Amino acid sequence: MCRRLLSSTRTATSSARTRRDVPERLLPRLTIAPRCALSVRFLIVRGELRTYKIHLGSGNSLMEPNDQYLCIVPAVGAARSAAK
């Protein structure tokens, strides 16, 4: 039981490292790079209206200053348009 827990913890840590390494290598090549920063758990993007924090593990988006959750859903006709 302990070994399984330790193994899954190592995997989670390795996975978390990968989720941080990819944007760290990719961001400098993007035009929005000056607006972005990486923290331990978030990609932080300084927008025109607000600053957005995107969790590297879950992809959940929060808006500063009060960490309000930002729900992003596809447009109603988007799936049908993409299929055509």
The mean pLDDT values, 10 residues at a time, for the chain of 84 residues are: 41 74 93 94 94 93 95 78 60
Encode pLDDT of 14-32 as tens digits.
777 888 888 999 999 999 9
Half-sphere exposure of 65 (CA within 13 A, CB side): 0
Phi, psi of 13 (to 5 degrees): -65, -45
Domains: count for the chain: 1
Cβ atoms of 55 and 44 closer than 8 Å: no
For 59, the domain range is: 2-83
pTM for the model: 0.70
